[in-house]
């Protein structure tokens, strides 16, 4: 059993290594859900652009979700945060980066086709305007604590977010 756990650890480490497409590099990617019964999840990462031209993440896809969208959080006032799709995608400036992090921009996995368990791997295809497609293997990390604090030190509970209109119904 120890050998199996060691191999699992090596596989997770390899998956966490940076992925490249053109001048775009994706680092520190991970995915999570708010609970075992969740119908949605999210993926987070840092996208770096080492090139001389701006690029843009324009879409994403994954076989673990019926629908994948690029999302952000909007402060609606009175302590209400609303999650909404960003149809134009996320700019990644030349010689800069764009962080997809909890409480901010992220890749939203809607209508999960299977439970995401700690240590699982999720395949996500990112499409950039200039760099094109890149498929990354994203480890599921349900224990990670970064990004949990939002403005004013208020805790962020992903399970209570207003996700706007999904499948014609409001959550």
pLDDT tens, position by position, 35-66: 888 999 999 999 999 999 999 999 999 999 99
Three-state DSSP class for residue 138: strand
- The Cα–Cα gap between 153 and 11 comes to 35
**pTM over cut 0.85:** no
Q: What is the pLDDT of residues 14-43, one digit of tens each?
A: 445 556 567 999 999 999 998 888 999 999
Phi first, then psi, for residue 92 (nearest 5°) are -125, 100
In angstroms, the CA 40 to CA 160 distance is: 12
Provide the CATH number for the domain formed by 19-140 in this structure: 2.60.40.1890
Q: What pLDDT digit, counting tens, does each position of 117-130 carry?
A: 999 999 999 999 99
Instruction: Give the span between the Cα atoms of 30 and 99, in whole angstroms.
Output: 12
Give the position of tokens 């996320």.
Answer: 90
Q: How far apart are CA 8 and CA 119, in angstroms?
A: 8
């Amino acid at each position: 059993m120890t050998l199996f756990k060691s191999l699992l650890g090596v596989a997770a480490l390899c998956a966490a290594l940076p992925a490249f497409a053109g001048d775009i590099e994706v680092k520190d990617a991970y995915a999570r859900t708010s609970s075992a019964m969740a119908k949605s999840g999210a993926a987070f990462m840092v996208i770096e652009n080492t090139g001389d031209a701006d690029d843009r993440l324009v879409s994403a896809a994954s076989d673990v979700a019926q629908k994948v969208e690029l999302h952000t959080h909007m402060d609606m006032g009175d302590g209400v945060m609303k999650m909404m799709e960003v149809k134009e995608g996320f700019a990644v400036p030349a010689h800069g980066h764009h962080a997809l992090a909890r409480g901010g921009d992220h890749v939203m996995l809607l209508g999960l086709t299977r439970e995401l368990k700690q240590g699982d791997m999720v395949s996500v295809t990112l499409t950039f305007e200039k760099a094109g497609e890149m498929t990354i293997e994203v480890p599921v990390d349900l224990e990670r604590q970064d990004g949990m604090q939002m403005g004013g030190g208020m805790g962020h509970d992903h399970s209570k977010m207003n996700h706007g209109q999904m499948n014609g119904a409001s959550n």
